Amino acid sequence: MAEGKASIKVPLALASIWFLTASLSTLSAPVLIVTVPYWHELRIHLAQLAQWQTWISIAACLGLLMLSKRKHAETQEAWGQGALLIFVLGGLVTAILLNYGVLPQWWVKSASLLLMAQVLVLMVLHWLCALLTLRSLLNFRKRA
């Protein structure tokens, strides 16, 4: 039982970092929009924020995927079974789509409501994947 709790610490830390960065970037984007006066400066700040958040999310998701199955093991870790890996893969896909698919188009056509809606939907989906991953790991820790 103590071994089960010890093996959940690193995945829980990765999920917490992922959720924290997703939450902070979602909350800091409107603050940047309100405080930065020029669109060119705003684009630079938002692009840097999105870049950092994307790379942290990718690192956390890949770390969770790698930790879910030990080297040379036939089965996955107990915490990595079920829907958790679907949430992690969803977070990985939304992070890549957001940063490399939709955001560059939005930088060019900032007045497009369709692109703005796509950005918002992907941000919410990404945040939701991080939240559900963290919740699944916390529930597993309570059961272990």
Tens digit of pLDDT at every position of the chain (144 positions): 445 555 889 999 999 999 999 999 988 888 888 898 888 888 888 889 999 999 999 999 999 988 888 777 777 777 877 788 899 999 999 999 999 998 888 888 777 788 888 888 999 999 999 999 999 999 988 887
Predicted TM-score (pTM) of the model is: 0.86
Which pair of structure tokens corresponds to residue 8? 């959940």
- How many CB atoms are located within 10 Å of the residue 92 CB? 19
The HSE-up count of residue 58 (CA atoms within 13 Å, CB side) is 13
Q: What is the pLDDT of residue 13?
A: 95
Per DSSP, the chain holds a count of helices (H) and strands (E) of: 6, 0
With a CB cutoff of 8 Å and minimum separation 6, the contacts of 74 are none
With a CB cutoff of 8 Å and minimum separation 6, the contacts of 22 are 53, 57, 126, 127, 130
Q: Is the CA virtual torsion 101, 102, 108, 114 positive or negative? A: positive
The HSE-up count of residue 21 (CA atoms within 13 Å, CB side) is 21
Please answer whether residues 49 and 32 qualify as being in contact, where contact means their C-beta atoms are separated by less than 8 angstroms: yes
Q: What is the pLDDT of residue 81?
A: 76
